[in-house]
Structure 1
């Protein structure tokens, strides 16, 4: 059945490519494990193609597992909200010279807001990618090796962001980018072939 998704395959393909690449670029601008102004800005901006990418990937599943496709997408977008907010923390931290320890201690005075905006949705981003990768494999919507790489990248993601070790972060960024860029490229090829057949 033809998708009713209001996003073209070209837009979806470009988003799947841009999301992990822009996100990976932000890691090169870390300053002593902190995102900083440039890194935080890139992380924040990368959430737009990330959200579009999630919409495209979940759309592949909506006919077979509609409930999961709907609920899973909402959870994934909430996870992206955390990424954007952590980006803002990086921008404000450097712009206003707020040490990492200081803002963490300040957040203790606002636990509900801090948890809703940062700490609770944070794990939902890699968890969404992991479960999505598993379901895409089970439903044979992506090549097995691409699904496995997506799952491995999702599992490794917290290992790169919690301790903030740059070399590990770069490796995880590459691991996560490979399957998404290839899936995005396939979306672009499909879009081109469909336009030629019209």
Structure 2
């Protein structure tokens, strides 16, 4: 009885996830807002990480103010990107994406300059390298594909969710088939015992 409930529950979950995936594909405007807000969350995290790392980096008198400006600007734009899509209904996402792209490009360049400046110090480079790469890649994507990036990501997420839903449904059908096979074997076994 429990096994029967499991495959039925799996099938229901699969259908719900599949429906969510199809729904997501057609939610372009909502997804743009979510995407910009997620960029904001990333930028806030990046800004805080830069501020915390500023103490451990022995930067010169020129690089320290630039890095501090980068951290504060990233934090400020991150908060704006996080809150603005929630508060403002008629938001020009294209303008906001270009502003974010410009800041990310600046952030990536400052991170690379800092990497070069502190390469001789005994400091873990991985956070700086990661920040530089992510910032530069995101800025290039936003500069070259500002209109398409939301649509492409949305379609990708929608297809992934649909695939997960299909997996649940197929796994449930396989579980159901194996359960029926087990029940058939049990009935045959009971019939043989009764005959003997």
Q: TM-score, normalised by structure 2?
A: 0.42
Highest RCO, 1 vs 2 (Cα 8 Å, sep ≥ 6): 2
More helix by share: 2
Between structure 1 and structure 2, the one with the greater Rg is: 2
Q: TM-score, normalised by structure 1?
A: 0.42
